[in-house]
Chain A
Amino acid sequence: MMSVTQPELHDLAAAYALNALDPEDRWTYERHLDTCERCREEVASLREGAAQLAYAYEAPAPRAELRDRILRAAREERPAPVVQFPRWLLPVTAVAAVAASIAAIGLGLWANSLRDKQAPERVVAVNGAPGALIVSGDEGKLVLCLDEAPASKTYEAWVIQGRTPQPAGVFAGGCRTVTLTHPVQDGNTVAVTLENEGGSDTPHGDILASANV
């Protein structure tokens, strides 16, 4: 496995379009794509080329049952299982920031009422979902409301140090308190993604919620 420095990031478009990046690089590159319009265009163009490869070889046809199986599974699953948050709150505006901190304080107080007072704690607002991160010493607790995870998926928390995400526990949807299994320090980011059941060593899903410690 290799790690990537900034100037090399631009060389990764082709491998990304082929889904051929090592997991850490994929994660780093996806964060880079968030801020690089030229890279997004390059990936989009290369992907059109990559998708042609899907047609290159003759292959057996799927069994007829597969269509029904997929449609049934889709019907059983709710159409929008990701975080429900009013659309107008999504842009980071002053209004959103205020609303988020109100939610954070509210949830923080609620969380406070759930535990004994020990080390001094800080309440950090969470972006992307209603909730808060409560840091006490190097222990972090996420108090978070998420939709139920889709079948065979689970939420997973990450403590991100620099560019390295460390797994910090898997959990189900609903409103709950999640004690992070990885210590949290100043400057870390705590993030939540949707992963395959059982969790993962490196994140694959998009970041659904995050908090900067």
Chain B
Amino acid sequence: MSEYALALAPVLARRRLKHRSDEELLDAIASGDNDALGALYDRFGRVAYGLAFRILRDQALAEDAVQEAFLAVWRSAEGYRRERAKAATWVLTLVHRRAVDLVRREDRRRGDPLDDAPEAGGPTVDEEADLRDTRAAVQAALTQLPPDQRQALELAYYGGYTQSELAERLGVPLGTIKSRMFAGLARLRELVPEA
């Protein structure tokens, strides 16, 4: 390949993959297409890192979690079933699982995430508008939840606490934690519009 063709390759790959759906990208990744993995990262890398950072509160650990999750995508895209989950959900579930595994291993879990101010300053210039819109919708949905449901969801999801740790920490029966989680997730599912 000439130097020119080499320089052009990423541009062509970007053009080729731009109009593929997330699910089609996973199909391409399953067949070993490294550019498709790059395109998937371009779509979800930012929200993935944001999630990992919120859980781990550490740049290096958050980067590790995101890397492990995207490598898990690379290895197991073949096992992805689109009738089972949206591609975004599948990817973010992997990121969340890696981050939570890491936070438990490092025992970095901190206090109540609700007590913490949101990370970083105002919106960055390059932040896409739809990411902002989604955030506003999810925030609106969260504020409509009863506080105890929201607390259970946030401590589990961002704090990495297991259900029995939560029961102990909050001093309520395990069954109560289970119902709060279930009710909270079910309402979140309803309230957030389909992407």
Contact = CB atoms under 8 A, between A and B. Distances in A.
Contacts, number: 183
A62 B75 contact: no
B85 A20 contact: no
SS of B interface (majority)? helix
Contacts of B192: 49, 52
A11 B178 contact: yes
Contacts of A20: 156-157, 161-163, 166, 181
Contact of B93 (A51, A56, A58, A71): A51
A23 B183 CA distance: 23
Contacts of B139: 56
A79 interface: yes
B38, B88, B157: residue with the most chain A Cβ atoms closer than 10 Å: B157
B89 A55 contact: no
Interface size class of A (residues with CB under 8 A): 35 or more
Given A19-B100, A22-B164, A59-B54, A48 B86 contact: yes
A52 B84 contact: no
Contacts of B48: 54
Nearest to A40: B84
B41 A46 contact: no
B44 to A, nearest CB: 9
B71 A67 contact: no
Interface string B59-74: 1001100110011001
Given A46-B185, A53-B138, A70-B37, A19 B96 contact: yes
A57 B182 contact: no
A89 interface: no
B49 A61 contact: yes
A178 interface: no
A81 B79 CA distance: 13
A73 B142 CA distance: 37
B188 interface: yes
Contacts of B189: 45-46, 48-49, 52
28 contacts: A1-B164, A13-B182, A15-B156, A18-B153, A19-B96, A20-B162, A46-B189, A49-B185, A49-B187, A49-B188, A50-B93, A50-B188, A52-B192, A53-B154, A53-B188, A54-B50, A55-B131, A57-B119, A57-B135, A58-B123, A60-B120, A63-B63, A67-B41, A67-B45, A70-B71, A77-B74, A150-B71, A204-B101
Interface of A: 1-2, 11-15, 17-22, 40, 44-63, 66-67, 69-71, 73-75, 77, 79-82, 150, 204
Closest 7 pairs between A and B when the two form their complex, measured CB to CB: A59-B50, A49-B189, A62-B49, A14-B182, A14-B181, A49-B188, A20-B156
